[in-house]
Amino acid sequence: MPFDLDSYRCHSPPATLWKVKHWNSQFKRDELSGDLVAADPTREITTKLRLSFAAQDHFKWENRRPTCFQSTFSCYNHARNWGNGVRWIEIYEIDTTNLSDGVYIFDAKELASRMRIPYKHGENEFIFLHRIPGSAIRSTERNAPAEHVSRVGTTKRIVFVDSDESTEPASVDDITSGMRAVALGE
């Protein structure tokens, strides 16, 4: 029997999903279509084993290899809290009500259960395969300041206090310098 990827997809996703972008996000926005494109947009999922490996890699936060999936959340507050680990984020509001049949969304917890792979995250994560169509992006909350940076490259909790009125996100160098200073006790 041939592999049927369609049998694993979520056919009735929530009408609205939320996608978080931060300085370390792997996906990119296609300038022509406006699509949100996964870091590995060409990985073919042609067998159950390939689906299992791709999902397992995606669910491991410590994995920094390009992934073919993009995480979204059915709860805005969960997305906002998830993005709270970095200083500046963008949150995309995704409308799933008019997606074409070529767009694959999976319920992360259900997929992990069916694949029998570890999954330690919440019940409201949904993952898109390869692309989120730009036409499905209802709105974007830009430069939403998060409260702190936590456990990025170190086990210490790092708190940034932003007292100026700047709307510019912190650079990776600024964050790295701050983490180094805290880790060294400076």
Tell me, what CATH number does 128's domain have? 3.90.210.10
- 46 and 91 share a domain? yes
What's the pLDDT score for residue 46? 97
- What is the structure's pLDDT at 80? 84
Residue 160 clears pLDDT 50, i.e. is over it? no
Least confident of 72-86, 107-121, 144-158: 144-158
157 and 133 in a single domain? The answer is no
Q: What is the pLDDT of residue 103?
A: 98
pLDDT mean across residues, the chain: 81
167 and 120 housed in the same domain: no
**93 and 158 share a domain?**
no
State how many domains the chain has. 2
Same domain, 121 and 159: no
Is residue 166 scored above 50 in pLDDT? no
Which of 58-72, 80-94, 119-133 comes out lowest in average pLDDT? 80-94
Residue 138 and residue 74 share a domain: yes
Residues 75 and 157 in one domain: no
Tell me if the pTM is above 0.95: no
Q: How far apart are CA 114 and CA 21, in angstroms?
A: 28
Closest CA to 37 of 51, 26, 22: 26
Residues 91 and 174 in one domain: no
Give the pLDDT band (50/70/90) at residue 49.
very high
Closest among 39, 21, 15, 14 to 140, alpha carbons compared: 21
Statement to judge: residues 57 and 21 lie in one domain: yes
Q: In this predicted model, what pLDDT tens digit does every residue of 11-33 receive, in sequence order?
A: 999 999 999 998 888 999 999 99
> Structural domain of residue 116, as residue ranges?
5-145
- Whether residue 57 is found in the same domain as residue 140: yes
Considering the domain architecture, whether residues 92 and 27 belong to the same structural domain is answered as: yes
DSSP annotation string for 65-89: S--SEEEEES-HHHHHHHGGGSSEE
Task: Check residue 79 and give its pLDDT.
Answer: 87
Tell me the pLDDT band of 78, cut-offs 50, 70 and 90.
Answer: confident
Q: Are 99 and 133 in contact (CB under 8 A)?
A: yes
Q: Are residues 133 and 154 in the same domain?
A: no
Predicted confidence at residue 161, as pLDDT, reads 33
Answer yes or no: is pLDDT of 181 > 70.
Answer: no
Encode pLDDT of 104-129 as tens digits: 999 999 999 999 999 988 789 999 99
